[in-house]
Amino acid sequence: MELEIIHVVLGKANPNRMNGVNKVVNSLAAHQVSLGHTVSVWGITKNPVHDYPTRDYNTRLFKDVSKFRLDSSLAKALKTMDPEKVVFHLHGGFIPQFHMLARKLVARGFRYVLTPHGAYNMIAMQRSWLKKRIYVRSFEWFLVQNAHAIHLIGDSEVAGTQAVFGDVPYRVIPNGHEVTDQFFVAPSRGEAPVFGFVGRLDAHTKGLDLLLNAFAEYRVRLGSPGELWLVGDGEDMDHLKYMAECLSISNHVKFLGAKYGDEKMDLIQSMDYLCLNSRNEGLPGVVLEAAAQGVPVIVSEETNMGAYVRDNNAGFVTERNDVPHILKALLTAAARKYDHTRLLMSINASEMVKKHFDWRSIAAQHSEVYEN
């Protein structure tokens, strides 16, 4: 029997918003429709107005009344549905509205899958640790223990989920990327290597303090040439500029601000390597964007991309996420630019995305989770 799939998200699954969860839900729902499934997105939002791009799936918006009370129309909608014909997919962790929804779903016999989207990563759990432990026991435990399955994005989420919730049924499926039959290679440009970062300028989470210090050491080591481009905006912009001044690398670090669409992709394609040595990630879409365009990457294990990059020779993975090991990766990457093996990594990066991250394949894997 074909199940109707209903994704539930805070927001409206609007891909034009900065919220990565909304972008993922939109892509997943769209590709499930392309596979022939009946799909809806239920959005819990303060502003239940349908102000998003045209989409192929149905969207139903409910007023976000309060964290611990659901819109009455949502409860009424559940009463009209057959639990044997519907599966719910909840997106996000530590969302009180989902605890309230899960209780109603369990009471009526609906199955649901939960994707925490990085919320149970151990680094994320360390923030407000005591409050989260209390919340887990009071609310999140019920949500997790009654889920048909937990969908996790990478190894760091598996470790965190098991540490907090014990042995629960889970399936590891990465986020996807829009792939085409087009073949991408990003040749090196110029003599000096260009290292780049794209994303929110959050110094600690994204490891930008480590990257700036490593790049400063890189500049000192044998007079190594090169530039570091930071594409993005955030509350740590001024702090990072000050760091660059203190490290005497201001003339070699470009703060380019937030860029979108073709302008962002043009900058990524002009980089020799995209760098992301985050301390905490789910599965970073910007790494997939860069790799799909043939730009090799330098990543930390904490991005959950390490195994993919290493196994496909699509860039470099730091042995440890600290300044000496990031420096080692920068120096090695620069040498690969000059001996032209970077070109092979460019080809491999594009092929890696097609092989492992095609949204069509990802959507099909989720269907297996719902049905089994």
pLDDT score for 280: 86
**From CA 37, how far away is CA 5, in angstroms rounded?**
7
Question: What span, in angstroms and rounded, lies between the C-alpha atoms of 298 and 306?
Answer: 9
Question: Are 113 and 90 within one domain?
Answer: yes
Query: What is the Cα–Cα distance from 280 to 204, expressed in whole angstroms?
Result: 9
pLDDT for the residue 20: 81
Whether residue 155 sits in one domain with residue 215: no
At residue 184, the pLDDT reads 66
**How many domains, in total, are found in the chain?**
2
pLDDT of residue 173: 96
| 349 plus 366 within the same structural domain | no
When pLDDT is averaged across residues 16-31 and rounded to a whole number, the result is 89
Does residue 165 share a domain with residue 205?
Answer: no
356-366 residue pLDDT tens: 999 999 999 99
CA distance 152 to 103: 22
> What percent of the chain is predicted at pLDDT more than 90?
81
What is the pLDDT at residue 118? 86
Judgement on whether residues 34 and 110 belong to the same structural domain of the protein: yes
Res 186: pLDDT:
66
Helix/strand/coil for 230: strand
**Is 85 a member of any domain?**
yes
pLDDT classification of 187: cutoffs 50, 70, 90: low
Gap between the Cα atoms of 363 and 358, Å rounded: 9
Burial-class residue 117 by CB neighbours within 10 Å (0-12, 13-18, 19+).
Answer: buried
Rounded CA gap, 337 and 164, in Å? 43
- CATH assignment of the domain containing 232: 3.40.50.2000
Pair (159, 100) in one structural domain: yes
Residue 371 reports pLDDT greater than 70:
yes
Within the chain, strands assigned E span: 4-10, 39-45, 58-63, 86-91, 111-115, 149-152, 170-172, 194-198, 227-231, 253-257, 273-276, 297-299, 315-317
Q: Among 58-67, 124-133, 363-372, where is mean pLDDT lowest?
A: 124-133
DSSP 312: T
Q: Is the pLDDT of residue 225 over 90?
A: no
| Section 293-307 average pLDDT | 95
Q: Quick one: 220 and 160 in the same domain?
A: no
Region 284-309 average pLDDT:
95
Residue 327 falls inside a structural domain: yes
Mean pLDDT of 182-191: 68
In a domain, 184, yes or no: no
Same domain, 198 and 345: yes
Sheet with 86-91, strands from edge to edge, namely 58-63, 39-45, 4-10, 86-91, 111-115, 149-152, 170-172
Domain that holds residue 150: 4-176+358-371
Q: Are 206 and 200 in contact (CB under 8 A)?
A: yes
End-to-end Cα distance, the chain: 12
Q: What is the pLDDT of residues 231-278, one digit of tens each?
A: 999 999 999 999 999 999 999 999 999 998 899 999 999 999 999 999
pLDDT of residue 182: 67
User: How far is it, in rounded angstroms, from Cα 70 to Cα 220?
Assistant: 58
Report the candidate in 205, 256, 206, 266 with the shortest Cα–Cα distance to residue 232: 256
Q: Are residues 162 and 219 in the same domain?
A: no
| pLDDT tens digits, one per residue of 132-160 | 889 999 999 999 999 999 999 988 889 99
pLDDT, position 183: 61
* Residue 210 and residue 169 share a domain: no
